[in-house]
Amino acid sequence: MYSDFNFIEEFKKNWNKKVKKIRCACFVLSVLMILVGIVCFFFPIQTFYVMKMIVSIVFIGFGIYLIVTYCLSTLFFKDPIVVMIGITHILFGVLLLQMPPEITAMSLTIMLAILLMFYGAEKLAFSRRLSFLGIIHTNIYTVSGVLTIILSVIFMILPLTSALIINYIIAAYLIVDGMTLFIEAMHMKSLKE
């Protein structure tokens, strides 16, 4: 059915059109993630209520973004798990907005565990696709995916302990993932066609 279509060239052409914008967005997002992580370390109690609102909005926004991205992707790169992750993000965001603060910490821990599991699996799958296309420097993406899955397992095994120190865990995750995104953005470049 697609014997004449060159998926690799199609990916390279789309990537080269957007690489500068993506790189700039990744730099900005990574710096924001690191700054928010640092604020969470120094003001854990004060940031909890603000974080609840921000996390809710980010979950909903990111869920919508994932669904739109899926709809705009070429057929070869359409991954149904992205839609599932998007819908899950939207549902968790709405749930967080409605939840009383007493329950939020424990629920947030469980929700983050589930989302991190999907997010880590998606990172590993994307890294594998990039490796298939011959794009180098995907190791940091693979390591980040594995660390994300390990963190989700810790959240699931120790939900009560994780709920007590959730601000610090989220802060550490934001800083580590922000640095990972920064490194990825440094390695982004146009692909030779």
pLDDT attached to residue 191: 66
Q: What is the pLDDT of residues 100-148, one digit of tens each?
A: 766 777 777 787 788 888 888 888 887 787 777 666 667 777 888 888 8
In a domain? residue 142? yes
With respect to residue 69, please indicate whether it lies within any of the assigned structural domains. Answer: no
Q: Give the residue numbers spanning the domain of 126.
A: 7-48+76-83+99-187
Q: How far apart are CA 121 and CA 79, in angstroms?
A: 12
Residue 193 structure tokens = 């066609």
Task: Kindly state whether residue 15 falls inside one of the protein's structural domains.
Answer: yes
Is residue 144 assigned to a domain? Answer: yes
How many Å apart are CA 54 and CA 97, to the nearest integer?
A: 10
- Residue 1 above 60 pLDDT? no
Count of domains observed in the chain:
1
User: In the numeric block, which tokens belong to residue 11?
Assistant: 């990916």
- Do the domain assignments include residue 94? no
Asked if the structure places residue 68 within a domain, the reply is: no
Residue 145 is assigned to a structural domain of this protein: yes
92/112 Cα distance (integer angstroms): 9
This prediction has a pTM of 0.51
Per the domain annotation, does 113 fall within a domain?
yes
